[in-house]
Amino acid sequence: MGKITAYDFSGMPEEVIDFKDDVVRIINFGKYASQVLYNNASTPTWSGREGENVMSYVGAGGTFLAYNFYWLNSAWRYTTFGGAT
């Protein structure tokens, strides 16, 4: 994700400058939350928001599958990774 470039806010009310600083801090340094489903290999049951991401881990008998579901173009898409523990 790119950084927001600097703009000149001199002469603006302090409240506007504080709001701008909060927005810049969130966008430039913020983290996003992602749900994690455990032992659930099925597609999420809710309609997502564009760009929403859900991870799911399924483990059994020394092997695991990791699903990365993402909401794109009004549908859940996914990638799968498998391995052994």
Q: How does pLDDT run across 4-54, given as a tens digit for each residue?
A: 667 788 888 999 988 888 887 777 666 566 678 888 778 888 888 777 888
How far is residue 68's CA from residue 48's CA, in Å, rounded to a whole number? 13
Query: Would you call 17 helix, strand, or coil by DSSP?
Result: helix
The confidence score (pLDDT) of residue 62 equals 83
| Shared-domain flag, residues 45 and 73 | yes
Total number of domains in the chain: 2
């992602």: which residue's tokens?
Answer: 34
Q: For residue 83, give the amino acid letter.
A: G
What is the average per-residue pLDDT within 48-63?
Answer: 83
Which pTM does this prediction carry? 0.55
Beta-ladder partners of 77: 70
Do 47 and 74 lie in one domain? The reply is yes
Check residue 36 and give its pLDDT: 81
**Is-contact 49 71, C-beta < 8 A?**
yes
How many Å apart are CA 23 and CA 63, to the nearest integer? 43
Domain hosting residue 16, numbered range:
1-31
CA 5 to CA 34: how far, in whole Å?
A: 27
Residues 40 and 21 in one domain: no
Please tell me the predicted confidence (pLDDT) of residue 1: 47
Same domain? For 49 and 72 the reply is yes
Do 39 and 67 lie in one domain? The reply is yes
Q: What pLDDT, on a 0 to 100 scale, did the predictor assign at position 2?
A: 56
